């Protein structure tokens, strides 16, 4: 079991609403990445935060935004939710450039 915790575990929202997902990284890790995993597919990279700055972004629109705090925990915010945003959202922490990611158990988001 990793030291990465995510909350909430499940969430149901309606189209057009906004959502905030939270992640606490493993002790000693200064990098947090967020991934979206649709049912039956592999995770897709949303963005990464390093020392509180966005450090790379995947092919996701600006309504996906994030924050990293001084204690290296992180938030993922999604505005104007769409049905296709329904997915498992995974947070992963790592030490910078060490390769190996430590994943949390994810937040299952359902948009109705």
Partner 1 sequence: SQQGEEDPQALSIQEGENATMNCSYKTSINNLQWYRQNSGRGLVHLILIRSNEREKHSGRLRVTLDTSKKSSSLLITASRAADTASYFCATDEAAGNKLTFGGGTRVLVKP
Question: Which residues of the chain form contacts with partner 1 (CB under 8 A)?
Answer: 2, 4, 31, 33, 35, 37, 39, 41-45, 48, 55-56, 58-59, 88, 90, 92, 94, 96-106
Helix (H) or strand (E) holding 108: strand 107-111
* For partner 1, the closer CB: 19 or 87: 87
Least separation in angstroms between CB 16 and partner 1: 26
- Other Cβ atoms less than 10 A from the Cβ of 7: the count is 13
Least separation in angstroms between CB 67 and partner 1: 18
Listed residue (97, 75, 95) closest to 26, CA to CA = 95
């Amino acid at each position: 079991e990793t030291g990465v915790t995510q909350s909430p575990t499940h969430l149901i929202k309606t189209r057009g609403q906004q959502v905030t997902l939270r992640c606490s990284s493993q002790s000693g890790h200064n990098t947090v990445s967020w991934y979206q995993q649709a049912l039956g597919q592999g995770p897709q990279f949303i963005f990464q935060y390093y020392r509180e700055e966005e450090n790379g972004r995947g092919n996701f629109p600006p309504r996906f935004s994030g924050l990293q705090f001084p204690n290296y925990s992180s938030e993922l915010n999604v505005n104007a939710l769409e049905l296709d945003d329904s997915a498992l959202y995974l947070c992963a922490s790592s030490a910078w450039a060490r390769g190996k990611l430590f994943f949390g158990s994810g937040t299952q988001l359902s948009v109705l």
